[in-house]
Amino acid sequence: MSHSRDVLHFSGHESLRHRLVLSILSGKPLKIDKIRPDDKNPGLRDFEISLLRLLEKVTNGTVFEISLTGTAILVRPGVIFGGAITHDCPLSRSVGYFLEPLIMIAPFSKKPFNLTLKGITTDDKDLSASCLQLPLVHTVLLTPLCTQADLIRTVTLPHLELFGISDGLELRIKKRGSMPQGGGEVQFLCPVVKQLKILNFVDPGKIKRIRGIAHAVRVSPQFSNRMIEAARSVLNRYIPDIYLYSDVYKGEDSGKSPGYALTLLAESTTSVLHSAEAISEAGVAPEDIALRASRALLTEIRRGGCVDRKHQCLVLLYMVLGSEDVGRVLMSEPTERTIQFLRDIKDVFGTSFKITPVEDSTDLLYVCYGMGFINVNRSLA
Partner 1 sequence: MDDKPHKAHRAAQSGNKADKKGKGKEKQHGFNEKAFAPKSGRRAERQGRRAAEKDQTRLHVPLVDRTPDEQPPPVIVAIVGPPGVGKSTLIKSLVRRYTKQSLNEIRGPVTVVSGKKRRLTFIECNNDLNSMIDVGKVADLVLLMIDGSFGFEMETFEFLNVLQAHGFPKVIGVLTHLDLIKKAATLKDTKKALKKRFWTEIYQGAKLFYFSGVLNGRYPDTEIMNLSRFIGVMKFRPLVFRNQHPYLLADRLEDLTPREEIRSSKGKCDRTVTVYGYLRGTNLRMGTKVHIPGVGDLDMKDVQVLGDPCPPPDADSEKRRKLSEKKKLLVHAPMSDVGGVVYDKDAVWVNVPGNFTRGNTDVPQGEGEKMVMDLQDVDETLEDVVARSDIKLLGSSSKNLVVDPSSSRLPAADIDDEEAESDDGDDDSEASYVSDIEDKTDEEDDLDQGKHIFGVHGGDTGRSTLRLGHRTTDKLSTMLEHQNGGIEYADSDSDLEDGDIRIGPRDDVMGDDDLAADDAPHWKTDLGGKAARAFDSSGRKRRKDWTKLIYSSALPPAQLLKKLTEDQPEGDPDEDEDEFFRMAKGQADEERMDMSKDPALMEDSKEWQDDDMLDSIRHLFITGEAEPQDGERIEQGEDGSSREGSEEGESEAGDADADQSAGIRLTADARAQALASKKEALKRKFDEQYDDPDAAKQDFYDEKKEEIAKQQTLNRAEFVGVDADTRALVEGHSPGSYVRIELTSVPCEMVEHFDPRRPLIVGGLLPAEQQFGFVQVRIKRHRWYTRTLKTNDPLIFSLGWRRFQTVPIYSLDDHSIRMRMLKYTPEHMHCYATFYGPIALPNTGFCAFNSVGADTAAFRVSATGVVLDIDRSVKIVKKLKLTGAPYKIFKNTAFVKDMFNSALEVAKFEGANIKTVSGIRGQIKKALPKPDGAFRATFEDKVLMSDLIFLRAWYSIQPRRFYNPVTSLLLTNDTRWSGMRLTGQVRREQGLSAPQSINSTYKAVDRPARRFNPLRVPRKLQSALPYASKPKLMKPQNRLTYMQKRAVVLEPEEKKALAVIQQIRAIRKDQVSKRREKQEERKEVRRKKQEKDEGRLAEKRKEERKEHMRLAGIKSKREVEKEEGGSRKRQKT
Does 342 bind partner 1 (CB under 8 A)? Our answer is: yes
Spatial contact of 122 and 148, defined as CB atoms under 8 Å apart: yes
Give every CB contact of residue 23 below 8 A, 6+ residues apart in sequence: 8, 29, 30, 75, 77, 348
Segment interacting with partner 1 (CB under 8 A) among 125-133, 184-192, 220-228, 242-250: 125-133
Q: How far is the CB of 352 from partner 1 (least distance, A)?
A: 5
Q: x/- string (CB under 8 A) for partner 1, residues 17-56?
A: x-------xxxx-------x-xxx----------------
Q: Which of 173, 159, 64 is nearest to 122 (CA)?
A: 173
377 near partner 1 (CB under 8 A): yes
Q: How far is the CB of 328 from partner 1 (least distance, A)?
A: 7
* Residue 73 makes contact with partner 1 by CB under 8 A: no
Q: Is 70 helix (H, G, I), strand (E, B) or coil?
A: coil
300 touches partner 1 (CB under 8 A): yes
Instruction: Kindly state whether residue 283 participates in binding partner 1, applying the rule CB under 8 A.
Output: no
Report how far apart, in Å, the C-alpha atoms of 279 and of each of 76, 271, 285 are.
38, 25, 11
Nearest-approach distance from CB 36 to partner 1, in angstroms: 8
**Pairing status of strand 273-279 against strand 259-268:** antiparallel
CB of 263 to partner 1, least distance (A): 12
248 vs 289 by CB, closer to partner 1: 289
Q: Buried b vs exposed e over 258-287: b needs ≥16 C-beta within 10 Å?
A: bbbbbbbbbbbeeebbbbbbbbbeeeeebe
Nearer to partner 1, 68 or 381 (CB): 381
The verdict on 124 binding partner 1 (CB under 8 A) reads yes
Can the peptide bond before residue 240 be classed as cis, meaning omega within 30 degrees of 0?
A: no
Residue choice 15, 133, 147, 257 for contact with partner 1 (CB under 8 A): 15
Residue 372 binds to partner 1 (criterion: CB under 8 A): yes
Q: Under the criterion CB under 8 A, does residue 84 sit at the interface with partner 1?
A: no
CB 38 within 8 A of CB 11: no
Q: Which of 238, 243, 270, 284 binds partner 1 (CB under 8 A)?
A: 238
User: Of 360, 278, 366, nearest to 318 (Cα)?
Assistant: 366
The answer to whether the beta carbons of residues 130 and 154 sit under 8 Å apart is yes
Strand partners, 120: 94
CA–CA separation, 196 and 324 (whole Å)? 10
Interaction between residue 269 and partner 1 (CB under 8 A): yes
Q: Does 260 bind partner 1 (CB under 8 A)?
A: no
- Classified as helix, coil or strand, 189 is strand
Q: Considering only 65-73, 222-230, 242-250, 288-296, which stretch makes contact with partner 1 by CB under 8 A?
A: 288-296
Say whether residue 106 binds partner 1 (CB under 8 A): no
Which lies closer to partner 1 via its Cβ, residue 25 or residue 248?
A: 25
**To 10 degrees, the CA torsion angle through 110, 88, 158, 266?**
-170
- Within positions 148 to 207, which residues make up the interface with partner 1, using CB under 8 A? 198, 200, 206-207
